[in-house]
Structure 1
């Protein structure tokens, strides 16, 4: 058979999916979910909720399907959703966004990231990321032929090291890619962190790309987009989605907002990826974005109440827990339990006690695995009874 080579190989390598023998491995998320299914384990690995989202949002999608809203939507997204996104940015953050020229609807936030990186980066460019990092970042930067430059966030606080960020950003930096609130750690940037990001991007004429999919799942104080800082909006691409907020991760309705020239550049790539998607889910997501503020507070509050029993239970088992300030996930250090091989521990966990989790090594390049030894990510976006049962099962480790 003809040898199959090409950009796919560097993409797989960028995501850490090439083995030492050159064979492509499954993502750890697929592996752990498959183990959960085969063993009957509770899946606290992959970050998807097991409860329905707001009824108004679900009903709107069903109504749109039945009304025949099932064909290609406009390339930039339906007008009601683009308007809802612009209104959302104005209402929550005071950002003035033109729905016709400064909003682009995408097939999930991951496609927004893909189109942005492929449109704006190439060989010789560098993309600075905060690591641990969502695995798509490394894959997409590699696919673009650019170079990933990681800035480590170290346990247990996962605070941003300002000196490390200053050292990472140079005139070769094309993008500072910032995930805030952060996956997998649940950390949030401080005001000084955000100011430094804008200062460095301005000084080195770099773009800022922010992944803000957990923007409404914060537990202490409001989310503050970097685009709200003086001098930031003109160089910032802000990315979010409805999947996490409305517990509709399978709908894959994402978006980005940015100055019109950047949106045009990104759309020129996006239209040749998926073209469009999710026709009946776009009006439903628009309904979601217009929900009263109290509903958003309820969504975040419910998730915060799920966080605490899981974190408390992990503490009792003997893990050292980094309690998250936002998001779906808690990071727990298993080294006090004698764990030295995090991946092996997570592979054994479903069979051993009936719980699946993700090793944080999945979010760090192989050459830097040492900095996350023992760290395990547990998802708490699950039903209360599932979390209670998971804690009881994890107690069998002691």
Structure 2
């Protein structure tokens, strides 16, 4: 008798090859390199260097809180304008009219508060509503012409720049209005947050920056804004109402310019018609220096806030150390050109590598719409 021992056949799969973690996943040097490559972080480094230089040159004056408080206060109005400009430039647009809309809204608001009469909060509330409504009106007109009439943003907002400023001068005869409710100057313009020495106008600007930062980076409105700036036609194909989005973004920019008009009245106690000639260019420079791309699709509110600090600190520091403040314009111009150059190099590098991962994913947008 023959016994056959049959061994059970067993199949064994080859042992998996050890996987190599992505470069930098363990906190290695590649992570540090990527962080250094973020433009907002680079601007922070530039800001820190500028601050340290002026601190070394004027250690008894520049780093003092009284001086820094003034710098922060001077940035507040530009900060509010910079929010709207960030949204606009992310769509690959431009808004040259914010300074003139600020002036026009301030004039209309001041006239409304004079008509109502009084120095209390009710009068100030009327002024606030009128200022924001005036800015919204200008922004909506800009958006309609850009989205519906297909007039280039540069031309539309350049026309609004002249029209808004001209109407403000017609309404006032070219003479500034100086009758402003005292409650605005005492509390908003030069008041402090309760229990601190932090300017209330700056607290308001910081709150706006935080709120609209969340809106830009954590809501569908912000996602659609990025989508329009990344690829307008592709955004249409995934269901984004591009025209409505553009109108909303320019209306937002105008409304914030109107609010900034009331803040300007509070801080300066006058409409300051002739004092805003460089405001639009200063805001655009700050937004671009902060990393928002003029080609659209990229940008952060944090970067804008940092970008605003550089010209403000340069101007203040030059005055303290005895350098002509006109050099501030030269320095800001150099930084601005450098920021745009770096952005172009990054785009060229991303194109060679198959696209930029930082741009909004339209496939992801479609998935979020369905969810």
Q: TM-score, normalised by structure 1?
A: 0.29
Q: Quick check: which one's helix share is greater?
A: 2
* Bigger relative contact order, structure 1 or 2 (CA pairs below 8 A, ≥6 apart): 2
Which structure shows the bigger proportion of residues in strand conformation? Answer: 1
Larger Rg: 2
Calculate the TM-score normalised by the size of structure 2. 0.30
